[in-house]
Amino acid sequence: MRQADRQALYDQAKQWVLEAGEAIRTSIHKPLRIETKSSPNDLVTEMDEQTERFFAQHIHETYPEHKVLGEEGLGDELDDLTGTVWIVDPIDGTMNFVHQKQNFAISVGIYQDGVGEIGFIYDVMADVLFHAKRGEGAYKNDQPLPNLDERDVQLEAALIGLNNFWTTENPRVETKGIHALVRKARGTRSYGSAALEFAYLAEGIMDGYVTMKLAPWDIAAGMILLSEVGGITTRADGRTVNLLQNNSIIAAHPNIHEELYRDYIILKNT
Ligand code: IPD
Ligand code: CA
Ligand code: CA
Ligand code: CA
């Protein structure tokens, strides 16, 4: 993608992200219709759908040749990532949205032929926008984020993002490795929004994030942001992420990425 085209697309996407965030903020105290999807803990509200519809409609009207991959299924069905694809999580952290009315984000990643070009992670209630363009660095609002290698991170002194669920017996990952990681790292954190966890990695206030089975929209923007500051995202076995399916993920400061998948994340063969 030419730099001028990327800039124009970035400007338009940014306007929609901020507009969608404003709409959520203004209705945050209105009563919500809350439904469940795959399990009683898998929540969705009309605001998730309304926000995804907002993006899908605007994108399809303005850029008829672009495609949309969104969590709530209001975009397109994709078999590949050719062309320009917007990967949208209208609300990442729906449980936080419902229970806390804060700590959730809009996540938008724009890919060209499978290459991440533009990423936005908008912490709606804090009104903090993390954003990045490929090759042009990552920002928190107007503040450029420093490259991660400016800090010499070791696992003993690292903060690792980890959902407590993976410390309990589960079909995907050996708990003995996760337990060893919990003991080795300085601390673990669980924020309940994969997009915000990626943003915190890019900001350097967390050093690793390990989680099983994330969807493309959870990570599409975050991977772009993190790569712009020298962070690494792979599948939990070290392979390249596939944005057409769910992936178990290790995202981290470059000093500790390999150690995490080599010594601590032992996947089960399921
Ligand atoms: C969820 C959040 C959560 C992660 C889940 C995701 P949603 O996304 O990112 O942190 O642990 O796996 O599904 O459903 O709130 O958009
Ligand atoms: Ca969801
Ligand atoms: Ca999500
Ligand atoms: Ca979501």
Q: What is the pLDDT of residues 115-167, one digit of tens each?
A: 999 999 999 999 999 999 999 999 999 999 999 999 999 999 999 999 999 99
Kindly indicate whether the domain formed by 148-264 is annotated with CATH number 3.40.605.10: no
- Extract the annotated binding site for Mg(2+): 71, 89, 91-92, 218
Dihedral-angle region of residue 42 (phi above 0 means left; psi in -120 to 50 means alpha; beta otherwise): beta
Stated pTM of the model: 0.97
176-207 pLDDT per residue, tens: 999 999 999 999 999 999 999 999 999 999 99
The interface predicted TM-score (ipTM) is 0.98
- Extract the annotated binding site: 71, 89, 91-92, 218
In the chain, residues under CATH classification 3.30.540.10 are 3-144
Ligand nearest 94 Cα, by number? 1
44-96 pLDDT per residue, tens: 899 999 999 999 999 999 999 999 999 999 999 999 999 999 999 999 999 99
* Full DSSP string of 173-234: B-HHHHHHHHHHSSEEE--S-HHHHHHHHHHTS--EEEEEEE-HHHHHHHHHHHHHTT-EEE
Q: How confident is the model at residue 39 (pLDDT cuts 50, 70, 90)?
A: very high
3-state secondary structure of 14: helix
Atom of ligand 1 nearest to the CA of 163: 11
Q: Is the CB of 94 under 6 A from ligand 1?
A: yes
Q: Which CATH architecture has domain 3-144?
A: 2-Layer Sandwich (3.30)
Atom of ligand 1 nearest to the CA of 91: 16
Q: Is the CB of 52 under 6 A from ligand 1?
A: no
| Average pLDDT along the chain | 96
Provide the pLDDT for residue 270.
61
In the chain, residues under CATH classification 3.40.190.80 are 148-264
Beta strands in the chain (DSSP E): 34-36, 43-45, 67-70, 84-92, 105-112, 115-123, 128-133, 138-140, 143-144, 159-162, 187-189, 208-214, 232-235, 247-252
Which residues are found with C-beta within 5 Å of the ion, ligand 4? 71, 89, 91-92
Q: How confident is the model at residue 1 (pLDDT cuts 50, 70, 90)?
A: confident
Atom of ligand 1 nearest to the CA of 191: 10
- Of 39, 43, 193, the residue with max ligand 1 atoms within 8 A of its CB, to mutate for a pocket test, comes to 193
